Amino acid sequence: MTTTDGAPAQDFMAIPDRPRGLLIVDLGTQYAQLIARRLREAGTWCEIFPASKALAAAEEMDLAGIVLSGGPASVYADDAPDVPEGLLEMGVPVLGICYGMQWMSRTLGGTVEGTGQREFGHTEIRMGEHAGKLLAGLGSETVVWMSHGDKVTALPAGFRTVASSETCVHAAIANDEKGFYGVQFHPEVSHSVRGQELLANFVLDVCGLPGDWKADSIAEREIAKVKELVGETGEVVLGLSGGVDSAVAAVIVHRAIGDRLHCIFVDNGLLRKGERELVEHAFRDHVGLDLTTVDAADRFVSKLAGVTDPERKRKIIGHEFVEIFREEAKRFKDARFLGQGTLYPDVIESVAAHGGNTAVIKSHHNVGGLPEDLEMELVEPLRELFKDEVRQVGRYLGLDERILMRQPFPGPGLAVRIAGDITPERLDLLREADAITTAEIESAGAHANLWQYFAVLLPVKSVGVMGDARTYESACALRIVESLDGMTADWGYLDRDLLRRISNRIINEVRGINRVVLDVSSKPPSTIEWE
Ligand code: XMP
């Protein structure tokens, strides 16, 4: 299912019973997956292809519309993606976002010019007299997120301006007759306050889709795909981490092939406090899965000794995981398959999904660290899904709410939350600080709107005073974020008393930490995990 460089080998030809939906053409944006997630939220199936494969995909798909993404290039640049003009002749509506709008405008006879400077950040747009289908119901003005250098200065024939900002006259344009629309801003980013409504207008009113792509159809489709892939006798070894992704992946595979699924839980020494006990109890005793725990803390921690580079850490951990699965798989007669809870965002942030030209940010261990000679075929029933879809599917399949609502925990575990050297002692420090952070936030009920809340151990020591004595110990940071999907995030607010309690408890109870700092960075431009 996957090539050795991590790119999905399962191309559009191989997807059975493809539902009617939208094609997203990835023109080099970091946000292609986010666009997909938002369109799915509006209840439609959609797929992403790079410009080079877009026309073939458009012809194969049961196509209801096309979304042209943004991208870093200028339409005049030598390295601008070569977008096939045939996409505008498919007889379906087209929505161009930022670069996509500029390409469409220029291709249809309009003019695009450089502004001389980038316009970046929140901008207010005002709607014109007749907003049309795309902007219907969005009010007379709204805040959107802009990020562009060039802009459209003269419209192609048949288009009109439907919204403007102070610096961008043609902030949204429409040709209602053809169903062609362009927006200079990014409706997919949560900073665009009514962006989701705009995208839903495109899906439901412009493309006329029913909006019925929901958890039940996703779950049944994925179960059927696993059944077909694994066949009558195949066995799957699946790494259970305790997180929601691998749990839902396990339940899907279990529904598909029953007790031919063997779950492995690796205690890699990089787990949170109490995690091993929790996982064993929840999955072995309650869900009733066949679960083996592998004791591998020494193996991981010794391989990581002296390694400080984040990408190297991720690669080492990914490699070790796969080795363990391979060893475990030998215990089963026909375990040719390796199950993983890889999500769509994991794929995009590790490799250019579907061959697109997006930059690598982090190698997520379950995609970036696969060895070239992997002899097992991958079973990744969540590979095309986003976290919220995974939770909905899990709920539909009857998974315990406590498992479904656990905060996400990265595959490489605490290793990517220890900046600098990883040692058993530093792991213990972080485990304790993290347990205090989590317990205090949860007992105050402050976690309801948070995506993640955890501690990070910094490679910094600073001077403190305890009683009358001088201390010289480590510092930790609190990372508390709000997010819908982990793709973008804002730092979350905790009240001062709660912050004080967390800080006091860490400094008083964790010997080796004498300073707590607060991380107030959003994503982008920072990421959620520090490494
Ligand atoms: P970043 O740090 O990229 O994280 O902003 C986005 C979300 O992904 C989680 N994350 C991972 N999940 N394997 C995973 O399964 C990984 O290697 C990994 N790295 C980051 C992170 O916790 C956040 O929710």
> Which CATH number is 349's domain given?
3.40.50.620
At 324, phi and psi to the nearest 5? -65, -45
Alpha-carbon torsion 402, 408, 414, 418, what sign?
A: negative
> Cα of 451 to ligand 1 centre, how many Å?
12
- According to DSSP, residue 369 is labeled T
Does residue 286 carry a catalytic annotation? no
Looking at the structure, tell me whether residues 426 and 361 fall in a common domain.
no
CA end-to-end span of the chain: 28
Domain shared by 102 and 201, yes or no: yes
Burial of 519 (0-12, 13-18, 19+ CB in 10 A): middle
Instruction: Name the residue with higher pLDDT: 356 or 381.
Output: 381
Euclidean distance between CA atoms 336 and 327, whole angstroms = 12
134, two tokens: 């795309």
353 & 265 share domain: yes
If asked whether residues 202 and 222 sit together in one domain, one would say no
Is 3 inside a domain boundary?
no
Q: Which atom number of ligand 1 is nearest to the Cα of residue 452? A: 24
Task: Write the CATH number for 475.
Answer: 3.30.300.10
Is 98 catalytic? The answer is yes
- Token pair belonging to 501: 């309690």
| Tens of pLDDT, residues 324-353 | 988 887 888 778 998 988 887 776 555 443
1 located within any domain: no
* Higher pLDDT among residues 112 and 363, named by residue: 112
Measured distance CA(531)–CA(521) in Å, rounded: 14
Atom of ligand 1 nearest to the CA of 349: 3
Sign of CA dihedral 357, 32, 479, 456: negative
**Mean pLDDT for the stretch of residues 385-401:** 87
User: Residue 383: pLDDT above 90?
Assistant: no
186 and 246 inside one domain = no
pLDDT the model gives residue 64: 98
**Could you list the residue range(s) of the whole structural domain that residue 494 is in?**
417-518
Domain endpoint, select from 346, 375, 404: 404
Ligand 1 neighbourhood includes 408 CB (under 6 angstroms): yes
**Are residues 269 and 234 part of one domain?**
yes
Same domain, 125 and 196: yes
Centre of ligand 1 to C-alpha 120, Å, is 26
Please say if the pLDDT value at position 7 is more than 80.
Answer: no
Per the domain annotation, does 291 fall within a domain? Answer: yes
Give the Å distance between the CA of 369 and the centre of ligand 1.
Answer: 14
In terms of domains, do 88 and 119 share one?
yes
Give the β-pairing of 160-165 and 172-175. Answer: antiparallel
CA of 8 to the centre of ligand 1 (A): 19
- 46 noted as active-site residue: no
CA atoms of 157 and 297, how far apart (whole Å): 66
Domain boundary among 382, 404, 426: 404
- Tell me whether residue 411 is in a domain: no
pLDDT value, residue 452 = 97
Q: Whose CA is nearest to atom 11 of ligand 1?
A: 410
Rounded-to-integer distance, Cα 16 and Cα 60, Å = 12
Entry field: residues in the chain: 531
Catalytic residue among 41, 46, 170, 186: 186
How many domains are contained in the chain?
3
C-beta 473 within 6 A of ligand 1:
no
**In this predicted model, what pLDDT tens digit does every residue of 453-502 receive, in sequence order?**
999 999 999 999 998 999 999 999 999 999 987 888 999 999 999 999 99
pLDDT confidence bin for 361, thresholds 50/70/90: low
